[in-house]
Structure 1
Amino acid sequence: MRFDIITIFPESLKPYVNESVLKRGQMKKKIDIRLHDLRDYTNDKHKKVDDRPFGGGPGMIMKPQPIYDAVKKIKGRRKAKVILTCPTGQPLTQRLAKKLAKNKNLIIICGRYEGVDERIRKMVVDESISIGDYVLTGGELPALVLVDCISRLIPGVLGEEDSLVDESFEGGLLEYPQYTRPAEFHGVKVPNVLLSGHHEEVNGWRKEQSLAITKKKRPDLLKD
Structure 2
Amino acid sequence: MRFDVLTLFPELFAPFQASGVTRRAFEPGGSVALQLWQLRDYADDAYRRVDDRAYGGGPGMVMLVEPLERALAAVRASQLAEGAARTPLILFSPAGKPLTQGRVRELAGGPGAVLLCGRYEGIDQRFVDAHVDEELSLGDFVLSGGEIPALALIDAVARLQPGVLNDAASHEQDSFSADHGLLDCPHYSRPERLGDSAVPAVLLSGHHAQIARWRRERQLELTLRRRPELITAARAAGRLSVHDERFLAGLVAAVAPQVRTGL
Q: TM-score range by the shorter chain?
A: over 0.9
Specify the alignment match of 2:132 in structure 1: 125
Specify the alignment match of 2:216 in structure 1: 207
Structure 1 stretches of 4+ with a deviation exceeding 3 A read: none
Shift in Å at residue 165 of structure 1? 0.6
**Do structure 1's residue 196 and structure 2's residue 205 form an aligned pair?**
yes
Output aligned runs, 1:97-108, within 5 Å: 97-108=104-115
Shift in Å at residue 142 of structure 1? 0.6
Equivalents in 2 of 1:163, 1:38: separation in Å? 37
CA contact (8 A) 1:83 1:125 kept: yes
Number of residue pairs the alignment of both structures matches = 224
Shift in Å at residue 97 of structure 1? 0.8
Shift in Å at residue 156 of structure 1? 2.1
SS at match of 1:172: coil
* Cα-to-partner distance string for 1:60-91 (whole Å, 9 max, x where unaligned): 00101111111121122341111111111110
Equivalents in 2 of 1:50, 1:131: separation in Å? 24
**Which structure exhibits the higher relative contact order, with contacts defined as CA atoms closer than 8 Å and separated by 6 or more residues?**
1
Unpaired stretches in structure 2, ≥5 consecutive residues? 234-263
Specify the alignment match of 1:57 in structure 2: 58
Equivalents in 2 of 1:175, 1:38: separation in Å? 40
Shift in Å at residue 105 of structure 1? 2.8
Which of 214-223 and 22-31 deviates more?
22-31
Shift in Å at residue 222 of structure 1? 1.8
Task: Letter of the 2:213 partner, please give it.
Answer: G
Of the three residues 86, 96, 113, the one matched with 1:89 is: 96
Q: What TM-score do you get using the length of structure 2 for normalisation?
A: 0.82
Specify the alignment match of 2:86 in structure 1: 79
**Do structure 1's residue 219 and structure 2's residue 228 form an aligned pair?**
yes
Unpaired stretches in structure 1, ≥5 consecutive residues? none
* Cα-to-partner distance string for 1:120-176 (whole Å, 9 max, x where unaligned): 112221111100100111111111001011111222222211111111111211110
CA contact (8 A) 2:17 2:26 kept: no
Specify the alignment match of 1:5 in structure 2: 5
Shift in Å at residue 54 of structure 1? 1.2
Task: Letter of the 2:146 partner, please give it.
Answer: G
Task: Letter of the 2:93 partner, please give it.
Answer: C
